[in-house]
Structure formats: structure tokens, C-alpha cells
Amino acid sequence: QEQLAESGGGLVQPGGSLRLSCSASGFTLDAYAIGWFRQAPGKEREFVASVSWSGGSTYYADSVKGRFAVSRDNAKNTGYLQMNSLKPEDTAVYYCAASRGSFSDFAAEYEYWGQGTQVTVSS
């Protein structure tokens, strides 16, 4: 079964950093773009960042540009989201997703989704 699994979430103080991982099983992730989305309580799921299948292109939501960095290691079948200078408004469940041949900011373009990992930014 094709699955994605996020890890690395947790509680961090404002200004802190976290690195999320997205590990694929049951399929080869290098054929897919990796997207990151988040959903805060009472809000719609929103796009955060994405990276092309080769890692050569990245795309960020304006709200995280300059603070977050998306990357991947295809040899490890894993994607990453480095989150720096975290703010309370970054608090959300973060999801990774895989899209074949694209790195769209639309959730409907993604075929596979992880279960989500909680990121809480609070003092």
C-alpha cells in the first residue's frame, strides 16, 4: 500500500525551529513532487511549500517564504520541511503529500497524503 508518514512535529517556542520529515513507503517518491500543507483549528487546509520531483524547483506560500525551506532526499525516499523563526500562527497539523510530476499549491493535485503531524508554537 502506498503511504506517506510525517514526523518531527512537536511543541516549540516562538522563534524556534523544527524539521519535519515525510517518508514514503510502497512507492518510489522520486517520481513525485512533494507538497506540504497545514490545517489550523477552525481553518481550511492551506498550502505551505512544495518541491519538484528532482528537487530543482521549490514553491512557497508567502506566509512562510524566507522562514521555511523544503527539500528532499530521493535516496532516502524522504522529503523535509525545515521551519525556522516559527510564529504562533504557524500552529497547525502539517501534512505532506505526493503529486506525480507536479508541485502544485492545490491540494486536489496530490495523490497521496500522510496522516499529519502536530506543530504547536507557543510560549
Question: Quick one: pLDDT at residue 6?
Answer: 97
Residue 26: count of CB within 10 angstroms of its CB: 9
Instruction: Determine contact, residues 34/47, Cβ cutoff 8 Å.
Output: no
Give the C-alpha separation, 71 to 49, whole Å: 10
pLDDT per position as a tens digit, 33-73: 999 999 999 999 999 999 998 888 999 999 999 999 999 99
3-class state of residue 105 by DSSP: coil
| Closest to 95 in 3D by CA, of 4, 3, 2 | 4
pLDDT higher than threshold 80 for residue 102:
no
3-class state of residue 89 by DSSP: helix
Question: Quick one: pLDDT at residue 103?
Answer: 79
